[in-house]
Chains A and B, each alone.
Chain A
Amino acid sequence: MSGNSHIPSSEITPEATFLNRRFFMKSSIWAGSTLATAGLYNAFTPSSEVKDIGTAIVTIKEPSMETVLAADEKVNTFKEIASYNNFYEFSTDKSSVALAAIGFVTDPWSVQVGGLVQKPRTFDLSDLHKIESVERTYRFRCVEGWSMVIPWVGFPLSRLLSMVEPMSSATHVAFETYYDIKQMPNSDSAGFDLPYVEGLRLDEAMHPLTLMATGLYGKTLPNQNGAPIRLVVPWKYGFKSIKSVVKITLTDKEPPTTWNIANAREYGFYSNVNPAVSHPRWTQANERRIGEGARRETLMFNGYAEQVAHLYKGMDLEKYF
Chain B
Amino acid sequence: MTFSSDSRFHRQLVFINGILPALLIIIDGWRGKLGVNPVEFITRATGVLTLVFLVISLMVTPLRKTFGWSWLLKQRRLIGLYAFFYGVAHLLTYLAYDRGWELQTVIGDVYKRPFIAIGMFGFLLMVPLAVTSTNAMIKKLGGKRWNQLHRLTYIIAIAGVVHYYMIVKSDITYPLFFAIVVSLLLGYRVVANLKKPVKTVP
Bound Cα distance A205, B48 (Å): 41
Interface residues on B, range: 20 to 34
Say whether, besides A46-B41, A281-B115, A34 and B20 are in contact (CB < 8 Å). Answer: yes
Which chain A residue shows the least CB distance to B32?
Answer: A48
0/1 per residue, A63-106, Cβ < 8 Å to B?
00000000000000001100110001000101100000000000
User: Which residues of the other chain, B, contact A46 by a CB distance below 8 angstroms?
Assistant: 33-35, 41
User: Which residues of the other chain, B, contact A84 by a CB distance below 8 angstroms?
Assistant: 35-37
Bound Cα distance A186, B171 (Å): 10
Query: Is B143 interfacial (CB-CB < 8 Å)?
Result: no
Say whether, besides A26-B9, A37-B17, A282-B113, A290 and B37 are in contact (CB < 8 Å). Answer: yes
Of A30, A48, A192, A263, which contacts B35 at CB under 8 A?
A48
In the complex the two chains form, is B100's CB within 8 Å of A294's CB?
yes
Say whether, besides A38-B20, A84-B35, A44 and B170 are in contact (CB < 8 Å). Answer: no
User: Which residues of the other chain, B, contact A80 by a CB distance below 8 angstroms?
Assistant: 36
User: Which residues of the other chain, B, contact A195 by a CB distance below 8 angstroms?
Assistant: none
Interface residues on A, range: 35 or more
Bound Cα distance A26, B2 (Å): 11
Say whether, besides A45-B34, A46-B34, A281 and B17 are in contact (CB < 8 Å). Answer: no
Bound Cα distance A45, B44 (Å): 11
In the complex the two chains form, is B24's CB within 8 Å of A33's CB?
no
Of B21, B167, B171, which contacts A281 at CB under 8 A?
B167
Residue of B36, B39, B40, B115 with highest tally of chain A CB at under 10 A: B36
Say whether, besides A33-B17, A34-B16, A189-B171, A288 and B36 are in contact (CB < 8 Å). Answer: no
0/1 per residue, A281-305, Cβ < 8 Å to B?
1100000101100110000000000
In the complex the two chains form, is B40's CB within 8 Å of A37's CB?
no
Query: Is A167 interfacial (CB-CB < 8 Å)?
Result: no
User: Which residues of the other chain, A, contact B169 by a CB distance below 8 angstroms?
Assistant: 92, 144, 191
Bound Cα distance A310, B166 (Å): 36
Which chain A residue shows the least CB distance to B3?
Answer: A25
CB-contacts of A186-200 with B (<8 A): 186, 189-192
Say whether, besides A192-B170, A281-B167, A288 and B37 are in contact (CB < 8 Å). Answer: yes
In the complex the two chains form, is A146's CB within 8 Å of B40's CB?
yes
In the complex the two chains form, is A37's CB within 8 Å of B21's CB?
yes
0/1 per residue, A39-58, Cβ < 8 Å to B?
00100111010000000000
Binding site for A on B (CB under 8 A): 3, 9, 13, 16-17, 20-21, 24, 28, 33-37, 39-41, 45, 48, 97, 100, 112-115, 166-167, 169-173
Binding site for B on A (CB under 8 A): 25-26, 29-30, 33-34, 37-38, 41, 44-46, 48, 79-80, 83-84, 88, 92, 94-95, 144, 146, 186, 189-192, 262-263, 278, 281-282, 288, 290-291, 294-295
| Sample (10) of A-B pairs whose CB atoms are under 8 Å apart | A26-B9, A37-B17, A46-B41, A48-B33, A94-B35, A95-B36, A190-B170, A192-B170, A282-B113, A290-B36
Apart from A84-B35, A92-B173, A190-B170, 4 more pairs, CB < 8 Å: A45-B34, A48-B36, A95-B35, A192-B170
